[in-house]
Structure 1
């Protein structure tokens, strides 16, 4: 372990330092959330046996009591669970999104907090999940799809561009900022290898830039939550003090929870209103601060996209294979469905605008996986349930199924949960599950 880092931790923790040192020899805490958009907690534990106990940090969150891995498990594939370090669920609990809120997750990949926000929205409201790095944005998108989220717009844009577009519109904004990752040292060796005081300072400056952008998106009385997975004061309380000094239209809200510890006092600023989580609290480490915008903000208007004329193949699919009756958009040969209008995000690159139903390829309509995992759209589709364990395994491996069902595209359910789809010729279902979701 880096000696300079340990000295900084000793200065920070003081009487808690020895307890922290003792945690360095322990395995990192692991946890998961149950996706209540698709299943109740009661039904989840009635169906699946997982050694765990409830986490203190958030609703629907659990700490694993086993070394078993669940990334290839059936409940994971069905989008019924999301693997998440326990303390990472704390920030959204503090943000407390409500149904009908508009929420911006500005640094959203890989998607743990965005999918948690979507659970709190319960299918209502609008979630904008943004990630600046294109590869990480694709991971974010895959998790949005897998968990069946239907009211999210996923963007791959800069903080400046996306917050300019959403200026004054958002009820809640989350900045789970890129950081030095001191709370991830046991899990990610690269975070430890990259650590230096210079890196900490560099991260703090980057975080200030992101926060300055985020504030622009808030409406009056809107809530901003700033979180990191690091312990460094420069990235945490000192950034909070900087916000309070720089932006007089924000006030710091005291976080009133039973877990963690108060933040470190910086000058005359009430930075003790923030919250710190340490490994002694049954989480690897998190910092959370909560702000409220107390002044009015100018509202940027959003244009609504107009749909291209639906092709005969799309109209046939909608008429014959789905009962969906809400908004439909055809743009650039891609067809989307959603509860909300389809807003024009201008020069922000949009990876997903609510639910991607499918694409028109050579005048032929081809459905998309998201249509069959979406909690909004999938229940309206023709489908068949696989009850035999061998059939389930065959499908998850990408094999065809010998099953007499009506011709056409058909959703595949396992344990009454959609996992993907296939195309039937009447007796055989050709597997359409994406290769990246198949098991060996």
Structure 2
């Protein structure tokens, strides 16, 4: 429990000034002092919601639907022996542990059935909860540019993308203010989950308010205004942007959106989120935004706005010096040979929406929709690495299995529980089945968990180091 949480008097006074009359300050304080309900999101790139619910029932997990996310659930599970993050289902990428409120911005981006986007920008992406949610909503089609300013957090972002089987992402490591100048009118949709003061996160972080001040809010709000301008400039005419924060102050929320409207006038339309879910009207502002106090849905505090771009706006002029692009698109003959050998070796068909690119001995699969951006911006990682060339052909890589493969008896090896634990700890496996040759898809149950290679009667472990665990597994 967080009953010892102390809210600064100035913060309480600020909340009193903005909290709707229908809400109680006592209930607000009580909600802030309650721990959050744990919630997860089913990763439909790996498993259907129906199949996941059957597994949850078998494991004794109690699921309650999150009303604004068809794949989201509050969960009650016995974690006394194994934390949810160390379950086989989590490690295989079947679900993501994600706070329920943070599922709302991607859901708002894909509000309507006809919201199908071929190019999406996630401007502040780490650790990857919303990025992987967007990738699932895109069904791994098109291209998803996932940007993270903090270099140290890019590794976490990539690890989560890799675990969840995302193959349409291209990662960048920039200040989000660069996109309007470098990629103007390039994206059908943009999510700006802006860095903020974090007032809404106190239920999971008792220290969130330790350094709270109005001065810091005003400073952050200026950064947010810069970011929303750049995100809007990067948006195509007719495109949609979602602006969100995990904070409550109007300075970081309504006033940031109003700044964009004041700056660009009729080019900006605020679209109501009342239809996002049944009880959305409880937190709807006059502009159609969702301004969520934690006691309303028993969640984090949150803010979500959906914005449409109606016309072009001025964009900054930049001088680009990118240097030579180090990749070369594979010739048709090589492209076809790689596809055929992968199919023959592992029974995997590369998607037609992917393009094969080569760099030295490395073979990569890029999203086709990324190609127009390749000469415009420097990317830190694009698509998935599928192979390395060697004298006898191709040495297939881990993401070929986790992003493209399904259980296949002709090309797979199935591990028991003890062997699967050993696999996730980075150790080689001696399966019970007869030894084979070359690379093999490694499965636990019907879930693909990696790619190994037969060496005699053992399967050599090919799990990337950042995904290796060392204790307390399922």
* Match in the other structure for 2:308: 292
How much has 1:316 moved relative to structure 2? Answer: 9.6
Cα pair distance change 1:378/1:67, threshold 3 Å: closer
Deviation string, structure 1 residues 370-406 (Cα, Å, up to 9, x no partner): 22210x3667997424252222222222222113332
SS in 1 for 2:166: coil
**Residue correspondence of structure 1 range 48-197 to structure 2 within 5 A:** 48=56, 49=59, 50-66=61-77, 68=79, 69-96=83-110, 98-197=115-214
Per-residue CA deviations over 1:410-436 (Å, capped at 9, x if unaligned) read 121112121112111241111121233
Name the SS of the counterpart of 2:156 in structure 1.
helix
TM-score (structure 1 length as normaliser): 0.88
Match in the other structure for 2:274: 256
Q: Is the 8 A contact 1:87 1:282 kept in 2?
A: no
Aligned partners of 1:406 and 1:163: how far apart in 2? Answer: 52
Unaligned 5+ runs, structure 2: 1-5, 318-323
Deviation at 1:367, TM superposition (A): 3.6
Residue 276 (1) aligns with residue 291 (2): yes
Compute the displacement of 1:324 (Å). 3.3
Pairing 1:415-434 to 2, within 5 Å after superposition: 415-434=445-464
Aligned pair 1:353/2:378, yes or no? no
Shift of 1:193: 2.0
Contact 2:39 2:75 in 1 (8 A): yes
Secondary structure of 2:250 counterpart:
coil
Q: Distance in 2 between matches of 1:118 and 1:315?
A: 23
Quick one: distance in 2 between partners of 1:118 and 1:380?
25
List gaps (5 residues or longer) in structure 1.
265-269
How much has 1:166 moved relative to structure 2?
2.9
Using the TM superposition, give the Cα deviation of residue 77 of structure 1 relative to its aligned residue in structure 2, in angstroms.
0.5
SS in 2 for 1:234: helix
1:6 matched to 2:12: yes
2:329 to 282, 289, 307: 307
2:183 & 2:409 partners in 1: Cα distance?
34
The two structures, once aligned, show a CA RMSD in angstroms of 3.0
Q: Take 1:297 and 1:377, find their aligned partners in 2: how far apart are those partners? A: 43
TM-score with structure 2 setting the length: 0.82
Number of aligned residue pairs: give it.
Answer: 430
Partner of 1:324: 349
Q: Which residue in 1 is equivalent to 2:467? A: 437
Distance (Å, rounded) in 1 between the aligned partners of 2:379 and 2:304: 29
Alpha-carbon distance in structure 1 between the residues aligned to 2:78 and 2:251: 34
Q: Does 1:31 align with 2:39?
A: yes
Deviates more, 1:59-68 or 1:157-166: 157-166
